[in-house]
Structure 1
Amino acid sequence: MLAGIFSVWHFVHRATFRLSKGMKDSVATASVYVLNVRPERRETLLNAEPGWFGGPRASEPVPAFGHSRRAPLVVLAAFEDGHLTHVGEARKGASAGTGLVRLNMVSLEALNRPIPFEEVIGRVPAKFRSGLRRTISNGGLLSPKTMSAVVDVLSEMDPVLREKLSSMSASRRRLIAALGDREKENLALQKETLAAALEISGVGTQGILEWTPETVERTSFLDGLGAAKVREDVMLHADLASLPGFNAIREAPHIAVRTFQSETDSAVRVTVVMANRLPLEEQTGADLIYFNETYRSFVLVQYKALEKVEDEHEFRWTDEDQFSSEIARMDNLLADLDKIEPDTNPDGFRLSSNPFFLKFCSRIVFNPDDRGLFPGMYLPLGLWKSLTQSGRLKGARGGNLLTYNNVGRKLSGTEFITLVAGSWVGTTISQSASLETMIRSVLESGRTVTFAVKRSPPPIPATAAEALPELDEGEALHPRKR
């Protein structure tokens, strides 16, 4: 058993493990690090400041190891010779000297009983015992197959651990593998829209790692997050119903919603609704529609995959295909937005009021253990139109061809997030009132709409504002932490 509610495993509970296929095409995978804590460091680490989940937030230099900082990392710690005693969430940190890196443990929780190394080693298949004995005795990262075997053994040893570790076992891998190619592609694109919304809002993408296939109802990625609410709950949300365009969202047969909150600033939160008309395997992609409630600004992002051809990533299309139809749809919607009177409200100022962006992704792989964004490039619709009209996007035989080399200027992920987060681009306040047509158009195309709303913190009541103490100039520039 575990002592108390083992909340740190909520982070780990959704992890799956796969071997990367080559360095160039590798994806971030979850890992387990075994830490043998030196006797002189044990009291110091256990008495460290509390982490997010109540356990100590400690850091220890360890030999350098390979692991993506974007993927989950679990630490099994031995604070007693020859016994696993604690488990926690970890991060691979910066260099701690020649050949060393920091192992940052966000929280540590004690097991109900110390588990002897030999008890674990004796229960794994024989082919893993030699490598496991070496790693568990010296400390370090477990190999993916050994780690999977260890997870299965720990699940058998304790019913509570079985519940917490079930998603790390072979059964979870089988559930993911059973998803069809189209299902996995659509889940990957929906996960990308969610990650982009969380990054733009400043909430962070940690919540993505909670995904599990066991609760997926074959409609959206959001269904796989335990706290997502079902359609009936969405209909009760009067605050969402008042948002521009939400009438179109509520018409979709399949809806899931979840609110994500920043772990560092409780005032920062984003509500995400995923809506679609078709089963997961029949959907044709996903669009992100991001709404900043403070500045009443919408931005829409459509995602396209770049194909790898020899040493170059490229995107090809024809003037009569689905992509050209989607561009024409954006043009028609933009023409309607342009008919709306200019916005003179300072909060409505935009560097560009064209809300449409394209993201061309060099890799679309469904990996629920990677909370990062797909590599790729963002193009504003206006730049895309200019590129196509200039003839720059033509191949050697006259076909339409986009590559990293011929596109010229493009927005990186950081640049795009900065522009959208500050509402420097997007619809004006007056334009945002007429977004229902755009949302309905996306749903009718068979794509999933990820409708993300960064919510404004509630205003301070007048009486409360009057009660706040006045700050002198120095304290206003450097306020005390409360």
Structure 2
Amino acid sequence: MPANNTGLLIYFDEDRRRDLIQDEIEGGYKPFTDALSVPDWKLTQLNIALLGFSDSTIDYISLAKKGKRVVTSKNRIEFSAMVNLGAIPIGVIESRLNERIQRYFVKASQGAGGVIPPATWAALIEAIKAERPALVGDIDRLTSLRRYSGFRLKGGAADILLQEREALGISLDIFSGNNQLRDKVLSAWAPYEGTVTEVNDTEATATLTNLEPGRSSFLKGIPQRYLQEEAAIQHDLCNWPGMTPLHETGVSVFHQGNRHLEVHYANRNALERTLGVDLIYYNEPFQLFVLVQYKLMREEGDLVLYRPDAQLKDELTRMDTFYNSTRSATSIQSHEEYRLSDDGFILKFVPSKGLTPASGELIKGMYIPREYMHFLLGQTGPKGPRGGAEITFSGAPRYLTNSQFAASVHAGWIGSRGVQTQTLRAMIRQFYESGHAILVAYATSQ
């Protein structure tokens, strides 16, 4: 088993295979597989690989996972989370190292080789960082992904980032109409190394803490290619007179064909003082919004449940007020305005299982519409053993799953209609000023 400070240097020396792989990567940074023999590398173990598509450059850095044997002495290797290094000349790297590194190349045509010695690998990565300083964050992210893949991160900060992760993930599903974009983005997230404490390698658990200002949103841990300083809707929706100074902001942009999704993050509090996470998703083709408020469920014995509190009551009242003031009283004027439900206010109940790096899956939780929530909390709603209200999977059987909710909003079946920009701005302001972290996801029609 290679140590954490080793890696592979792979040269794709077969023209046809090399061209196919390059087309696959450049068409969307998709994972790809190849068959190699690396005996000192355990099955399913994540490693870091440097990829060369000529014998004179290092072109990409990626994660590599060893799979099952496919031919004699060779295993399937899956490469993912690629970062484009911009064809760094090997000669430039060797001049920094005072050592020839071509001898470490694993040639894909021969499919045999080994990991690079730890000291050489560490020096090689530092040399690449020196040549590509703008990519240091992404390179460190891959190192963190390898280190904490399979871990569950706990703590108050992890709880908030877990909710932000769920909000971003469902936004990507709604936007794309499937889970492929979400899987690619979420599985590439990793924490900053200095924020992980109380590491237990046996139990694969750790605590997330000490997040610095500017690095405390989930968006800061995804690939840098999705991040940008500012985007088109930022000033229209996320600024207003007398706005409370932001603790942190962030903008990420995702593309699918000629459509794009802008995701804006705003939080006026440090994570330890953040009261929750809200998602406001605007679907421009159908001119609808949904607001999803996230709640964490806890384990109590054999049950996973959420116990309603005064904060939930206040938040429901705020939702009721906005629903009644924004609901369109006019009849529909187009096909796109038709809804199965024009109530865009939803609560998502998420079992608190810890934040998991290198995973593209959403947690299986419950989407509960505002009206159904009132029933669950009312006199005729389900009660716990002591007669109090509690939210459980069995007690709320009419919830929507992740896929049901995403498909319904994507197709315009549920959500408000006829909402104007000023209404969205007012809603963002109200929920932001309540002490929540806000993700505003705006999907364009072109």
Cα deviation digits, residues 81-140 of structure 1 (max 9, x gap):
xxxx9965468799897999854446798983646569xxxxxxxxxxxxxxxxx9887x
Cα deviation digits, residues 236-288 of structure 1 (max 9, x gap):
x4x5445xx545599352253424233xx441311111112223332111100
Residue 295 of structure 1: how far off its partner (Å):
1.6
Residue 126 of structure 2, aligned match among 159, 163, 166: 159
Query: 2:350 aligned with 1:361, yes or no?
Result: yes
For 1:181, the equivalent position in structure 2 comes to 155
Do the aligned residues in 2 keep the contact of 1:240 with 1:246 (CA within 8 Å)?
yes
| 3-state SS of 1:442 partner | helix
| 3-state SS of 1:406 partner | coil
| 3-state SS of 1:306 partner | strand
For 2:322, the equivalent position in structure 1 comes to 333
Residue 292 of structure 1: how far off its partner (Å):
1.0
Aligned residues: 380
Give the Cα–Cα distance (whole angstroms) in 2 for the partners of residues 153 and 331 of structure 1.
Answer: 62
Aligned pairs for 1:389-468 within 5 A: 389=378, 391-430=380-419, 434-457=423-446
Deviating more after overlay: 42-51 vs 409-418: 42-51
Give the Cα–Cα distance (whole angstroms) in 1 for the partners of residues 227 and 241 of structure 2.
Answer: 16
**Compared CA separation, residues 294 and 305, structure 1 to 2 (3 A):** same
Give the Cα–Cα distance (whole angstroms) in 1 for the partners of residues 30 and 281 of structure 2.
Answer: 36
Residue 322 of structure 1: how far off its partner (Å):
1.1
Give the Cα–Cα distance (whole angstroms) in 1 for the partners of residues 312 and 181 of structure 2.
Answer: 31
Give the Cα–Cα distance (whole angstroms) in 2 for the partners of residues 421 and 110 of structure 1.
Answer: 41
Residue 180 of structure 1: how far off its partner (Å):
9.6
Residue 351 of structure 1: how far off its partner (Å):
1.0
Residue 311 of structure 1: how far off its partner (Å):
2.8
Give the Cα–Cα distance (whole angstroms) in 2 for the partners of residues 88 and 440 of structure 1.
Answer: 41
Deviating more after overlay: 207-216 vs 430-439: 207-216
Residue 405 of structure 1: how far off its partner (Å):
1.9
Give the Cα–Cα distance (whole angstroms) in 1 for the partners of residues 420 and 19 of structure 2.
Answer: 55
TM-score normalized by the length of structure 1: 0.63
Residue 46 of structure 1, aligned match among 18, 22, 25: 18
**Compared CA separation, residues 210 and 56, structure 1 to 2 (3 A):** closer
Do the aligned residues in 2 keep the contact of 1:31 with 1:73 (CA within 8 Å)?
no
Residue 201 of structure 1, aligned match among 175, 185, 193: 175
| 3-state SS of 1:275 partner | strand
For 1:192, the equivalent position in structure 2 comes to 166
Cα deviation digits, residues 31-68 of structure 1 (max 9, x gap):
9996999x9x966643534232489985335799447x
Do the aligned residues in 2 keep the contact of 1:185 with 1:364 (CA within 8 Å)?
no
For 1:217, the equivalent position in structure 2 comes to 214
What is the Cα-based RMSD across aligned positions, in Å?
4.7
Do the aligned residues in 2 keep the contact of 1:229 with 1:258 (CA within 8 Å)?
yes
Give the Cα–Cα distance (whole angstroms) in 1 for the partners of residues 112 and 30 of structure 2.
Answer: 23
Do the aligned residues in 2 keep the contact of 1:420 with 1:426 (CA within 8 Å)?
yes
Residue 191 of structure 1: how far off its partner (Å):
2.6
Letter matched to residue 182 of structure 1: G
Do the aligned residues in 1 keep the contact of 2:278 with 2:292 (CA within 8 Å)?
yes
Residue 387 of structure 1: how far off its partner (Å):
3.0
Aligned pairs for 1:54-453 within 5 A: 59-60=33-34, 65-66=43-44, 74-75=48-49, 89=62, 102-105=76-79, 112=90, 114=101, 150=118, 154-162=121-129, 165-169=139-143, 181-202=155-176, 204-205=181-182, 206-208=184-186, 209=188, 213=192, 217=214, 220-224=217-221, 226=224, 228-229=227-228, 233=230, 237=232, 239-242=233-236, 245-248=237-240, 251-254=243-246, 256-262=249-255, 265-318=256-309, 321-338=310-327, 340-389=329-378, 391-430=380-419, 434-453=423-442
Do the aligned residues in 1 keep the contact of 2:141 with 2:221 (CA within 8 Å)?
no
Do the aligned residues in 2 keep the contact of 1:271 with 1:454 (CA within 8 Å)?
yes
TM-score normalized by the length of structure 2: 0.68
Deviating more after overlay: 391-400 vs 101-110: 101-110
| 3-state SS of 2:404 partner | helix
Do the aligned residues in 1 keep the contact of 2:159 with 2:352 (CA within 8 Å)?
no
Residue 158 of structure 1: how far off its partner (Å):
5.0
Do the aligned residues in 2 keep the contact of 1:216 with 1:223 (CA within 8 Å)?
no
Give the Cα–Cα distance (whole angstroms) in 2 for the partners of residues 56 and 281 of structure 1.
Answer: 36
Give the Cα–Cα distance (whole angstroms) in 2 for the partners of residues 194 and 446 of structure 1.
Answer: 19
Do the aligned residues in 2 keep the contact of 1:45 with 1:56 (CA within 8 Å)?
no
Do the aligned residues in 2 keep the contact of 1:291 with 1:454 (CA within 8 Å)?
yes
**Compared CA separation, residues 439 and 169, structure 1 to 2 (3 A):** closer
Give the Cα–Cα distance (whole angstroms) in 2 for the partners of residues 35 and 229 of structure 1.
Answer: 31
Residue 212 of structure 1: how far off its partner (Å):
5.8
**Compared CA separation, residues 448 and 360, structure 1 to 2 (3 A):** same
Cα deviation digits, residues 335-384 of structure 1 (max 9, x gap):
22236434433222111110011111113533443343233121222222
For 2:96, the equivalent position in structure 1 comes to none
| 3-state SS of 1:418 partner | helix
| 3-state SS of 2:24 partner | coil
**Compared CA separation, residues 286 and 408, structure 1 to 2 (3 A):** same
Structure with higher strand content: 2
Q: Give the gaps of 5 or more residues in structure 2.
A: 91-99, 106-110, 131-135, 195-211
Letter matched to residue 314 of structure 1: L
Sequence identity percentage: 23
| 3-state SS of 2:20 partner | coil
Q: Give the gaps of 5 or more residues in structure 1.
A: 1-29, 80-84, 119-135, 458-482
| 3-state SS of 1:308 partner | strand
Residue 160 of structure 1: how far off its partner (Å):
2.7
Letter matched to residue 181 of structure 2: G
